[in-house]
């Protein structure tokens, strides 16, 4: 969330809506103002703690995250994506729930994971790509120390996604073998 004037975030989101643009709200760092912005977000991306504060529902895993996300959708958010750290992310859409598992990486520092997730999501939305792109971006950010130095480049995200896809294809071939 912006540190601008009290109404800066509401103005930006409202103006985006007025102009027919997709709006994305990451409520971090969580402030009370975020509760008033939920209905202006096409995509709302709180972590577990932020989800609890926004929805008033205790989040202790995927099931309670889904209940909280549904509560936030009922307050006007388009799609709610609850980031669940090592458990990945859970998206609650008009069509139902979508799980994006975390990609296995050697975690060094999670400082920029949320920022990386939101950046990856913004790129994915702009290019009509899938939620795992955002998860891969966040996973890679956890493999290095610091905030800005840990943010991955596109080619690194695509390499991780490609390696994961190749591993899943090998596993599926093994399962299909007689």
Residue 95 is a catalytic residue:
no
How is residue 138 written in tokens? Answer: 């966040």
Chain-centre distance for alpha carbon 145: 20
Element (H or E) spanning 90, and its range?
strand 89-93
Say which residues have a Cβ less than 8 Å from residue 57's Cβ, sequence separation at least 6: 51, 64, 67, 68, 71
Give CA–CA dist 12/93, Å, rounded.
23
Burial of 175 (0-12, 13-18, 19+ CB in 10 A): exposed
For the chain, helix (H) and strand (E) counts, in that order, are: 6, 5
Whether the bond between 29 and the residue before it is cis, its omega within 30 degrees of 0, is: yes
Q: Which of 32, 95, 115, 133 is labelled catalytic?
A: 115
- Nearest CA-CA partner of 26 in 120, 144, 98: 120
Kindly report the number of other CB atoms within 10 A of residue 72's CB atom.
Answer: 24
Q: Which residues are known to be catalytic?
A: 115
């Amino acid at each position: 969330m912006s540190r601008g004037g009290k109404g800066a975030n509401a103005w930006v989101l409202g103006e985006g809506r007025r102009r027919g643009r997709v709006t994305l709200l990451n409520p971090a760092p969580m402030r009370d103002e975020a509760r008033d912005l939920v209905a202006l977000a096409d995509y709302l991306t709180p972590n577990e703690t932020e989800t609890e504060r926004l929805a008033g529902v205790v989040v202790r895993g995927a099931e309670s995250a889904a209940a909280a996300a549904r509560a936030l959708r009922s307050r006007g958010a388009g799609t709610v994506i609850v980031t669940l750290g090592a458990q990945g992310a859970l998206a609650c859409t008009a069509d139902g729930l979508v799980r994006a598992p975390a990609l296995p990486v050697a975690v060094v520092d999670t400082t920029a994971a949320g920022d990386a997730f939101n950046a990856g999501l913004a790129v994915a939305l702009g290019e009509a790509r899938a939620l795992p792109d955002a998860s891969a971006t966040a996973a890679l950010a956890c493999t290095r120390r610091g905030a800005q130095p840990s943010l991955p480049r596109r080619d690194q995200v695509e390499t991780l996604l490609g390696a994961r896809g190749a591993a899943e294809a090998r596993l599926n071939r093994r399962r299909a073998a007689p």
